[in-house]
Amino acid sequence: MLKKGEILRRLSDSQIYRDYEKAFTEATDLPLTLRPKEVWDIALKSKKGENPFCALLAQSNKSCAACLRTQDKLTAESSASGGPNTVTCFAGLKDSVVPIRVSGEVIGFLQTGQIAHSNPTKARFSRVTKQLLEWGVSVDLSRLEDAFFHSRVIESKQYMAMVSLLTIFAEHLSTAASQILIQSSNDEPTMVVKARQYIDEHSGDEIPLNEISRVLNVSTFHFCKTFKKATGMTFTEYLARTRVEKARNLLLNPNLRISEIAYGCGFGSIGHFNRVFRRIVGTAPTDYRSGLHGGKSVKVKS
């Protein structure tokens, strides 16, 4: 059976999702993303329609941490209730998620928001600024104020209607996810399905070719031929891409060292990790992480 992350990846790449994301953002001027249950970064970061105020806050680790806590609360409450959920962050902006389910289990969320229900005021911005300074956030306050007063304002009834549209679309995606699951089970040989599961579960360990052939009770020649025909990749390349994909997710967590990630994902050395990561992703792990977290922070200007 396909893992949740693979199902979400296929949904994200599907034409139905790409068309809907484009239509939703063009119609509402709001960002939209299809994301897993657990993420280490702001889900709407760098999406078309992203609130400029939120984009500036994402450049600072401390304010970003506050946004991540709000995001965690958002998804935890939605997972518990099984339905859409909206929360308000410390700055008075609202985010919403709608769950995507497969076989009754929540595998991810549609997320949108970064809006206010009322016009921003000097008093509210003063409270936001005070909180940021107490946290020791480094940010250009003049730019932040301009972005704050350009935040999108949508009255509650209209915004909830948008969330209702996402709820309807989430049902369509849940149906599509179930179809992906069935098609994968029907199209791939049982041996390949089991091989994918084994690789995903043991990618952090050393997996010699003869070991996986032994586990599947087939010859290495038969396994390699069947796996390449079904996946379009050799076993070695598939294993490398699985490890790199896990590394990319772990690089979202700024508290993990590159070496921890490399060895935790099954790479025997930092050098090997760097070479494989650069070949598949196109950039070094350190540069990839730097791009994720916005590079250098901006100094406070009073």
Q: Mean pLDDT for each consecutive 10-residue tract of the chain (302 residues)? A: 78 90 94 89 90 89 84 90 91 94 83 95 94 85 93 95 92 81 67 89 90 93 91 86 84 87 93 90 82 41 26
In a domain, residue 268? The reply is: yes
- Are residues 152 and 27 both part of a single domain? yes
**Do residues 194 and 179 both lie within one domain?**
no
pLDDT of residue 175: 81
Smallest CA-to-CA distance from 110 within 165, 72, 61 is with 165
Residues 29 and 169 in one domain: yes
pLDDT at 255: 85
Instruction: Look at the pTM and tell me if it is higher than 0.85.
Output: no
For residue 299, the model assigns a pLDDT of: 30
| Domain annotation covers residue 298 | no
C-alpha distance from residue 155 to each of 94, 126, 204, 275 (Å): 11, 23, 48, 51
| pLDDT on residue 137 | 83
In a domain, 297, yes or no: no
Domain that holds residue 142: 4-183
The domain spanning residue 228 has which CATH number? 1.10.10.60
Q: Is residue 299 part of a domain?
A: no
Question: Looking at the domain assignment, is residue 224 inside a domain?
Answer: yes
Q: Cα-Cα-Cα-Cα dihedral of 109, 53, 51, 91, to 10°?
A: 50
Spatial CA neighbour of 95 closest among 48, 39, 31:
31
Do 23 and 160 sit in the same domain of this protein?
Answer: yes
**32 and 98 belong to one structural domain:** yes
pLDDT of 291: 65
